[in-house]
Structure 1
Amino acid sequence: MNKLFNTKNIIKLLAALFITVTTVISCQRNGSAEEDDLPQEELTNIVLLVTEEGTTNTISYDYSIGAGGTPTIPLKDGKSYTVEAKFRNGNEDATKEIIEAKNEHFLIFDFPKSNITVERQDGGDLRGDGKRVGLRTKWTVVKAVNGEAPFLKLTLIHSPQSVNDAKSGTAWGSVTGGETDAEAKYNLSN
């Protein structure tokens, strides 16, 4: 019995326990799975529903996270579009969780090779600071193709310390702090 409970065995057991606990905690954002209402690993798709103003024709552009392939959204110069962002986890709509935790989320729309104005509209996503997450927006296209291979990089930020919905460089929206919950790329064309 002395051999089972000697100091070396206890130290080895404590070291193994420490490594196990450290590994489990480091795999969780902010140290606790309960703190994150929308774990990054659970988002599988970001779908943009694009409707040209003056029409009722809505076209869906589905970006599958981690699956490769980039959808192309055709936009006409001088036109405006209503765009709704939907987030999916397999067949489940995860957008509701974003709306429920709207103070912890913010979307950044970056158009580095286009001239497009983004206006955040009512989508039930008004944050406590008076800013909108960006689940429903109006895009006014000045020039869809303003450089070679234009694209939109859409980023969902989790727990930013502060947000700004104004244009910053080529992006509509910026944050201080936070982490990326999901990111998608959509090619743009005329």
Structure 2
Amino acid sequence: MNKLFNTKNIIKLLAILFITITVISCQRDGSAEEDDLPQEELTNIVLLVTEEGTTNTLTYDYSIGAGGIPTIPLKDGKSYTVEAKFRNGNEDATGEIIDAKDEHFLIFDFPKSNIAVTRLDGNDLRNDGKRVGLRTKWDVVKVVDSPSPLLKLTLIHAPESVNDAKSGTAWGSVVGGETDAEATYNLTN
């Protein structure tokens, strides 16, 4: 009986408990498998912007945690098709979002611009009939509606419900969920 409760065994047990608690507490909802795209794995959010009527696609790469904000030039009265791509280093992680589309939703917030967003047909249709927002159309009414216009783009993981309508200055809103990734882009015309 003394061998079971000796100091050496108690220290080993406490070490195992500490490691187990640390590993469990670092995971989002108790299991790494529950989150198919952990925030720590996304390194870049890339927007591919094409002015309607042209074939010229420009790329705006936001590097998560690296500092620096890309500037997207837009023109009042013009429309743009915009595709959002997510990367983990050199690897495209967009497919993982599409594979788990019912667990993801993008919010486009233009707090200092007047831009309408329409989610376009694609392979990101969720079971609730809403689109994640990986491909959108932006109808620009006024890029610079107040000083320092920007886009705050947020990828939400596991929302309880989503709404793709405009809510304040944002196109899209959610109930519940957690932020998988967030990017800021400056806007100019």
What's the TM-score, normalizing by structure 2? 0.96
Classify the secondary structure of the residue corresponding to 2:147: coil
Give the match's secondary structure for 1:103: helix
**Residue 118, structure 1, aligned to residue 104, structure 2:** no
**In the alignment, which residue of structure 1 is the partner of 2:158?**
159
Deviation at 1:123, TM superposition (A): 2.3
Deviation digits for residues 120-179 of structure 1, max 9, x if unmatched?
A: 001210000000000000000000001111100000000000000000010000000001
Deviation for aligned residue 1:67: 0.5
Q: Percent identity?
A: 79
CA-atom RMSD, angstroms?
1.4
1:55-107 C-alpha deviation (Å, 9 max, x unpaired): 11100000000100000000000000000000011111100000000000000
The Cα shift of 1:7 comes to 4.9
For the residues of structure 1 that align with 2:162 and 2:132, how far apart are their CA atoms? 9
Please give the residue correspondences for 1:69-88 in structure 2 after superposition, counting only pairs within 5 Å: 69-88=68-87
SS in 2 for 1:31: coil
Deviation of the 1:9 alpha carbon: 4.3
TM-aligned CA deviation for residue 19 of structure 1: 1.5
Secondary structure at the aligned position of 2:128 is classed as coil
> Which residue of structure 2 aligns with residue 99 of structure 1?
98
28-37 or 104-113, larger mean C-alpha shift? 28-37
Residue 25 (structure 1) shift: 0.5
Name 1:49's counterpart in structure 2.
Answer: 48
**Runs of 4+ with >6 A deviation:** none
Distance 1:68 1:125 in 2: 29
Cα distance in 1, alignment partners of residues 99 and 19 from structure 2: 33
| Matched pairs, number | 189
**Residue 176, structure 1, aligned to residue 175, structure 2:** yes
2:48 maps to a residue whose letter is: L
Residue 189 (structure 1) aligns with: 188
- Structure 1 residues 5-43: Cα deviation after superposition (integer angstroms, max 9, x where no partner): 435544433332222111000111111111111111111
1:142-153 superposed matches below 5 A: 142-153=141-152
How far the C-alpha of 1:52 sits from its partner, in A, is 0.4
AA paired with 2:78? Answer: K
TM-score by length of 1: 0.95
- 2:85 and 2:169 map into 1 onto residues whose CA distance is 23
